[in-house]
Amino acid sequence: MSDTWTIGIIGGSGLYQIDALEDTQWIRVNSPFGEVSDEILCGRIGEVQVRFLPRHGRGHRIPPSDVNARANIDALKRAGCTDLLAISSVGSLQEELPPGQFVVVDQFIDRTKTRSSSFFGTGMVAHVSMAEPVCERLSKIAAKAVKKAGGNVSKDATYLAMEGPQFSTRAESHLYREWGADIIGMTAMPEAKLAREAELPYALVGMVTDYDCWREDAAFVEVSEVIAQMNANGEIARKTVEAFVAALPKKRVASPLDTVLDFAMITSPDARDPETLAKLDAVAGRVL
């Protein structure tokens, strides 16, 4: 296992470029799991290799339900990533998380319905733990990076992942608050699950664009308002990425998340499907 960092940045709504990248080149990476959202922008910040993927594609052309998270994570693994930092625009379910706040996610509640949520299946079965779904090491660095970038940051948030593309009903918004969710978005699941299956430590920073519709005395969220706040958040997000990379230790010490598949594979070798195994060459080749 290499002791150098190659950081994959998954840019969500509001983060479509990284100004600090040097020696850049857009490279197409093919995946056996289908179409990747876009080419991957390869470059470096200082001595750290960075791979940037716009989650919705350049121009924000892919809606949340059509983002092929399997292909995206597989492609980032093929591009040499050791760790992932995801940036996402989110709605707030708590009064103390106003528009403009940045939130480092600790837990998820998955309410998505139509998305392929695993690389594994018939022919090769595996079960990874999602009890602690993010990388603590990356999350701590990310929180400090937001502060250095001039943003207000909260930690240990629970992210409710909904299907979309419509926003919540008021009844749903109240329900999610009762469940203990702090922010709501449409893209972090199954992205975080797939990162875990691919043995890629993952952290997520949410950028609050609006209050969800639980506030009885407030107007419903409008896309124009969300876009305006996204643009305001974007500059801090770009500076956060730069500060995050600069704060990484010079050498990457191995993470327990690098080897989660050692304890996850359940299909006996003589029952494994060769065609399925061939598709898993990047995400699970280490153990296959």
- By annotation, the residues acting in catalysis are 210, 212
Please say whether the beta carbons of 46 and 246 come within 8 A: yes
The continuous run of DSSP H or E covering 78 comes out as helix 69-78
Rounded distance, CA 48 to CA 206, Å? 23
Instruction: Give the E-state strand segments of the chain in sequence order.
Output: 6-11, 22-27, 40-45, 48-54, 83-92, 102-111, 153-162, 183-185, 202-211
Helices (H) and strands (E) counted in the chain, each on its own, are 6, 9
Q: Which residue, 86, 102, 94, 119, is CA-closest to 199?
A: 119
Side chain identity, residue 47:
E
Residue 89: CB partners within 8 Å, gap ≥ 6? 12, 13, 14, 185, 206, 207, 208, 209, 226, 230, 233
Please say whether the beta carbons of 157 and 206 come within 8 A: yes
* Paired tokens of 253: 């010490």
Helix spans in 118-197 (H): 136-148, 170-178, 188-197
Sign of CA dihedral 278, 282, 285, 287: negative
